[in-house]
Amino acid sequence: MENQRKIRILNDEGKIEEICISDISSVFPVIQTDIPDELLAKIRAIFEPIKDLIGMSLEEFEVGFMRGQNIENEILHWECIVNTFAILSPFFKNDEKRLLDTVIYISVNALYEDEKENELIKCIMESYENISKLTRR
């Protein structure tokens, strides 16, 4: 179990907690059982550029959207992540996985305080914030 991929979440107290991906279903149960085809197409478009880095199958990724209250908002959230990743990835050719993880952590406010002080991460944070503003217009 030690080799299982972990993700960071904010717990109910607003603190960062690391959980195994396999434990997500107990923390975030599926609440939406049907995703309309037009939204599935958007989810698949989001998945395509990150499929080799995300550490899950398309089906697992789709189920993640079924755990949220509002699939459209979750899609916007992931569009911001993928747009930021797409713009910055040419500068991270040897470290795209780390870039993607960092953008995801930024998007859910799950960076540790010492990480927020890193100059490179500050640049990524600023890029994410600007792309988020443009994506959500």
For the chain, which residues make up each domain, given as ranges? Answer: 33-135
pTM for the whole structure = 0.80
On the question of pLDDT at 119 being above 90, the answer is yes
In this predicted structure, the answer to whether residue 109 has a pLDDT above a threshold of 90 is no
Residues 16-27 have pLDDT tens digits of 777 675 665 555
User: What is the Cα 117 distance to its own chain's centre?
Assistant: 21
Q: Tell me how crowded residue 19 is: count the other CB atoms within 10 A of its CB.
A: 16
Residue 1 has pLDDT above 60, yes or no: no
Q: What is the CA radius of gyration of the chain?
A: 15
Note the pLDDT tens digit of each residue in 25-81.
555 666 677 889 999 999 999 999 999 999 888 988 888 888 777 899 999 999 999
